[in-house]
Amino acid sequence: MAQKGPWLGLWLSLAALLVGLFIHRNASMGDAPSTSHDHTECRHAKLSTSESKGDWCPKQPEPLSRGLDWNPADSDDDRSQAYERLAGAVRIRTETFESMPTDASDPQFDQFYVFEAYLRATFPAVHAKLQLEHVNVHGLLYTWQGSSPELKPIVLMAHQDVVPVNPATESQWEHPPYSAHLDADGWIWGRGTTDMKSTLIGILAAAEKLLAEGFQPERTALFSFGFDEEVEGERGGKALAAVVLERYGPQGVSLIIDEGFTGVSNDFGREFARVGLTEKGYLTVQMSVAMPGGHSSKPPTHTAIGITGQLFAAMEASPGPVRLDESNPFFAYLECAAKYGDMDEGMAKRLNCPDCWPALGQELAKDPDMAVFLRTTQAITVVNGGIKENALPETVTSLTNYRTVFFETTQVVLDRLVAAITPVARAHNLTLDAFGTHPDVQQNVIRLKTVGPVSEPAPTTPHDGPAFELVAGTLRHLFPKSVVVPSAMTALTDTVWYHGSSKHIYRFTPAYFEHLIGFHTVNERIHIDAHLSTIRFFYKLMRNSVGWATDRKDS
């Protein structure tokens, strides 16, 4: 999952647990004397006149299990085979880099030939019975033709590539990053174990088992595996999505499932299975400051680097608004926690009081792990400037990555950036070329431009109806103690290219989140139980799709 920022490892490893624990900690203070006048009003007077009448927590379907069932965790042979299949995939170093060419046939992508050969050898039945198409060289699109072609297909997604391992940190790994070492406690170590070769191998392992059992899907199943998701997916995911859209038409897919930071976790004394129903937008802005150079012995009051620092300070002083309301899937999760979990009564009352939401949102957003659900994030990730200690920098460039929150747009984010830095430009008599407004100015200029893909926040998948019931019912069969709740994906996935194909896109990992550690960082690892539950989920989902409510191509 494409994600950038220096806080990445901490957030990815702890976010799912900290969300619930932080809120629970604050909720437990609900009956204590408040230091906030607004908070006190919300807890008492306002409740009588401004109660929320909505019920945003979805109705829980019964556990769903059609046809045969299979749990690879029940057999030592199945567990061993599952590990060996995943380990072989992890050992193939399918790294992608920002500097890679746009031409997918370039030799820099040749590792994906090796990876495909491994998949062919490891899953012979899949490759004998399913149609495999190559999309833009290395994109893999498997089609398992259903017996009822009038039904809309399902799409199961994963990506083949992984983020690179920084050579400077390789020695910090407890086990080598491409060893796929299985330790005595059941952890499989290696880059790509969590993101996301477990899912890719899990989909194919489920299909291989179903084929061995003679299973015939009723509706066509597509397996779509991109190869450059970690560098924004413009070669792989985009090309694959275009084929699907052209072949099946707008909204021609019944449901899509892809990766997510969310899984099954324990919060508020209850087990919740969090399903991402939307995804934040994605945007990167390059800022450059061009000023005259010269000898460092005769500097101006502020060099280009100094002014860049002032620009950064102005940007970070304008983080954008916080909003907590029923349009945010995170709010629905909180409602479910109040309904099914052990949430403090004071906290639950505030959730039922719309007038209380602004203050509550501000409180939650003080923690970075909460803020990602409540506002657009802004991360200054790259800075370059100067070439010698005794020469003034002539140009300083930086990259800032934004993840646009669900209630904002790209244009709102860009407008806020311009407003934040305009006073700095004026104070230093610099021209502000904001996205092409002054392209001819070459000196004493601050220039802004977007780089890479730009995506708006994803449409929100409904958390009711047959598609949600199929997904949630399957999860409740695997995790019978869980309440299935809405959540959101705060990073970028290849589903960004599929919005035209389906209104029902789900982003999650069918495993206990505590069994997924180290996304994109040192000591990435997955517990074997998480991989086994992933296999079982896709196996059961495909079986449960037989006899599923009508969702025809002509509807």
Q: What is the CATH number of the domain that holds 463?
A: 3.40.630.10
pLDDT tens digits for range 301-319: 999 999 999 999 999 999 9
Give the count of domains, the chain: 2
Report d(CA 197, CA 161) in Å as an integer.
Answer: 8
Instruction: Name the domain boundary from 422, 456, 490.
Output: 456
Q: Are residues 135 and 151 in the same domain?
A: yes
Residues 139 and 176 in one domain: yes
The pLDDT score that the predictor gives to residue 15 is 41
Q: Can you give the pTM of this predicted structure?
A: 0.88
Query: Does residue 471 lie in a domain region?
Result: yes
Q: What is the pLDDT of residues 448-472, one digit of tens each?
A: 999 988 999 999 999 989 999 999 9
Asked if pLDDT for residue 337 goes beyond 70, the answer is yes
Q: Tell me whether residue 357 is in a domain.
A: no
Q: Is 56 inside any structural domain?
A: no
Within-domain flag for 346: no
Higher pLDDT, 22 or 3: 3
Q: What is the CATH number for 314?
A: 3.30.70.360
Confidence grade of residue 553 (pLDDT, cut at 50, 70, 90): confident
Distance (Å, whole) CA 514 – CA 509? 11
Tokens 């275009």 belong to 242
Instruction: Mark whether 62 is an active-site residue.
Output: no
Question: What pLDDT was estimated at residue 54?
Answer: 55
Annotated ligand binding at 159? The verdict is: yes
Q: Express the helix, strand and coil content of the chain in percent, nearest 5 each.
A: 40, 20, 40
Q: How many CB atoms lie within 10 A of CB 167?
A: 7
Whether 154 and 269 map to the same domain: the answer is yes
pLDDT category, 262, cuts 50, 70, 90?
A: confident
Residue 2 and residue 235 in contact, taking contact as beta carbons nearer than 8 Å: no
Where are the extended beta strands (E) located within 280-394? 283-290, 377-385
The residue from 456, 485, 510 where one domain ends is: 456
Whose tokens are 């926040």? That residue is 457
Cα(323)–Cα(340) distance, integer angstroms:
24
β-partners of residue 157 are 224
Kindly report which listed range (17-31, 65-79, 433-447) carries the lowest average pLDDT score: 17-31
Cα(225)–Cα(201) distance, rounded to whole angstroms? 11
Q: Please check whether residues 258 and 308 belong to one and the same domain.
A: no
Of residues 456 and 32, which shows the higher confidence score?
A: 456
Residue 159 lies in a domain: yes
How far, in Å, CA of 262 to CA of 268, rounded? Answer: 16
Q: How many CA atoms does the CB half-sphere of 143 hold within 13 Å?
A: 16
Residue 153 sits in the same domain as residue 177: yes
For residue 106, say whether it is annotated as part of any ligand binding site. Answer: no
Q: Look at 327 and 181; give whichever has higher pLDDT.
A: 181
Q: What is the pLDDT of residue 31?
A: 36
Q: Could you please report the per-residue DSSP string of 453-512?
A: --BPPPPPPPSSSHHHHHHHHHHHHHSTTEEEEEEEE-SB-GGGG-TTT-S-EEE--SSB
Q: Which of 429, 456, 483 is the last residue of a domain?
A: 456
Tokens representing residue 117 in the block = 């050969």
Q: What is the pLDDT of residues 83-128, one digit of tens each?
A: 999 999 999 999 999 899 999 999 999 999 999 999 999 999 999 9
Residue 342 in any domain: the answer is: no
Q: Is-contact 262 508, C-beta < 8 A?
A: yes
Cα–Cα dist 383/286, whole Å: 10
pLDDT, tens digit, for every residue of 160-219?
A: 999 999 999 999 999 999 999 999 999 999 999 999 999 999 999 999 999 999 999 999
Question: Cα separation of 75 and 318, whole Å?
Answer: 55
Q: Is the same domain home to 84 and 223?
A: yes
With respect to residue 538, please indicate whether it lies within any of the assigned structural domains. Answer: yes
Q: Please choose, from the candidates 460, 458, 456, the residue with its C-alpha nearest in 3D space to the C-alpha of residue 328.
A: 460
Structure tokens at 351: 């959730």
Give CA–CA dist 287/422, Å, rounded. 13
The region of weakest confidence among 23-32, 359-368, 506-515 is 23-32
Query: What's the pLDDT band for 8 if we cut at 50, 70, 90?
Result: very low
Is residue 162 within 8 Å of residue 192, measured between CB atoms?
yes
Catalytic residue among 116, 208, 229, 433: 229
Instruction: Tell me: do 439 and 465 sit in the same domain.
Output: no
Is the same domain home to 513 and 498? Answer: yes
3-state secondary structure of 466: helix
**Number of helices and strands in the chain (H, E):** 15, 17
Tokens of 313: 């300070």
* Pair 329, 278: CB distance under 8 Å: yes
Check whether residue 263 and residue 166 sit in a common domain.
Answer: yes
Would the annotation count 230 as a binding residue?
Answer: yes
- For residue 464, say whether it is annotated as part of any ligand binding site: no
Same domain, 103 and 223: yes
The pLDDT, as a whole number, for residue 2 is 64
Going by DSSP bridges, is the β-strand pair 395-403/283-290 parallel, antiparallel, or unpaired? antiparallel
Structure tokens at 42: 């919300």
* CA atoms of 521 and 288, how far apart (whole Å): 29
Is 504 annotated to bind a ligand? Reply is no
**CA 539 and chain centroid, separation:** 23
My answer on whether 484 and 512 are in the same domain is: yes
**What is the rounded CA–CA span in Å between residue 26 and residue 44?**
18
What is the per-residue pLDDT for 17? 37
- CA-to-CA distance for 351 and 334, rounded, in angstroms? 8
In this predicted structure, what is the pLDDT of residue 554? Answer: 67
C-alpha 9/C-alpha 176 separation (Å) is: 18
Q: How many CA atoms lie within 13 A of 65 on its CB side?
A: 12
Range of the domain at 166: 72-277+458-544
pLDDT for 158 equals 98
Is 299 contained in some domain?
Answer: yes
Q: Does the active-site annotation cover 161?
A: yes
Same domain, yes or no: 296 and 422: yes
Contact 495, 341 (CB under 8 A): no
Rounded to whole angstroms, the maximal C-alpha distance in the chain is: 80
